Amino acid sequence: MSELADVLDRLLDADELGSLVGRPARAASVRAKPGALLVLGLADPATGRPTGWARVLWPAASDKAAKTAERARRRGQDVVERPLPGGLLLQAGGIATDPGLANPLRGARPRRLRGLVDQPGPVLRYNPLRRVLVRDRDAVVRVAADTDPVPGALVRRLGSLGLPVPAVLDDGTQPHVTARRFFGDTDLAHTPSAAGIRWAGETLARLHSTTGDVLADDDLAATLGRRTPPTTMPTAVLRHLDPGLADRLDALAARVADRRLDGPSVLLHGDASADQVLVDTASGTRQLNDFDRSSLGPAAVDLGSWLAVDRLAGVGASGPLLAGYAAAGGLVPDDDELTTGIARGLLLRATAPARLGDPDWRGRITARLDDLEEVLA
């Protein structure tokens, strides 16, 4: 077993992790750069809410630790450090001390965002070193380490075309900060219904039909034109964790790549699934959310993504989804194209158990590869 796998398995033990970071915690997300660092998102074991970050640094990246600790010290914040065997160093802290987000949070307006990120209630989602989503009154504010103007501009454009998407509240002057109007109290994954799934099919068809109107915007056309939906899953990290699983994933990825999708190119959501449909139970209204992965490609990519997630959840909802898609004018791909779309969706999610900190990630990934093999058969 590799050093990376040893460290990961140790930190996926909630008791061990809590002892190292000095408070109850479990790993909610995992990201690794072999030979350099392993990054974990921390969550409260009782509630599942995001509470902070932890990372293990290999000697080659140890200089990063000193910079983070010094910045936190200057700002009166706490960062925990623990030496690990082999010259490794564990470092952990609250979201406000996140090495990738500390400076964007420091400059974000309104200033109260800095305090909200370390409270248990307001943080909705958190991806360490990359982004955090916080509820601030009637807004959902996203603070990110990188700057990507496309999602905001795209959502504005879709809203102007009548698509049911969250209202954009920011004016675009803060490159690391975006804001949407808070909507709903749940999502379709938690409150599934045939009517809701049919609505999703209709809305995906409407989204795909906006392609020409969206691409009439020169800036969006230029940026979206450089984006294509991913067709494979990088296996470099998995190869360090379990070479046998990586070999099997590579072989299945080659089989998926052999199956071409030749449908017309449309504007894709890029991560279509039931949890991207926000639901307001009081009014019965819905919105399609999260366009961070939007690109151009065949419609079977979005439909296959949705059906792949449903398959992983043990839900058979293709009927309402495809009926809604057709009713709104969408051209439903044939069975072979849908199968290819589903296979791509399963491939891209094959290593999710490790990325989500599942202690049984080996067994879960094996099961997902078994499922992908069944689809390809």
Q: What is the pLDDT of residues 147-174, one digit of tens each?
A: 887 888 999 999 999 999 999 999 888 9
> Sign (positive/negative) of CA torsion 6, 7, 9, 14?
positive
Distance CA(92)–CA(42), nearest Å, equals 9
Distance CA(345)–CA(255), nearest Å, equals 14
Q: Per-residue pLDDT averaged across 68-77, rounded? A: 92
Lookup: tokens for 70: 């010094």
Spatial CA neighbour of 266 closest among 219, 306, 224? 224
DSSP symbol at 34: T
Calculate the average pLDDT of the chain. 94
Cβ-contact 93, 53 below 8 angstroms:
yes
20-47 tens-digit pLDDT: 999 999 999 999 999 999 999 999 999 9
247-266 tens-digit pLDDT: 999 999 999 999 989 889 99
Domain architecture of the chain: domains with CATH: 1-93 (3.30.200), 100-182 (3.30.200), 186-376 (3.90.1200.10)
347-361 tens-digit pLDDT: 999 999 999 999 999
CA 169 to chain centre: 22
Q: Per-residue pLDDT averaged across 297-306, rounded? A: 97
The pLDDT value given to residue 1: 63
The pLDDT value given to residue 110: 87
The pLDDT value given to residue 236: 87
309-341 tens-digit pLDDT: 999 999 877 899 999 999 999 999 999 999 999
Lookup: tokens for 301: 């990519």
The residue that leads in pLDDT, 63 or 207, is 207
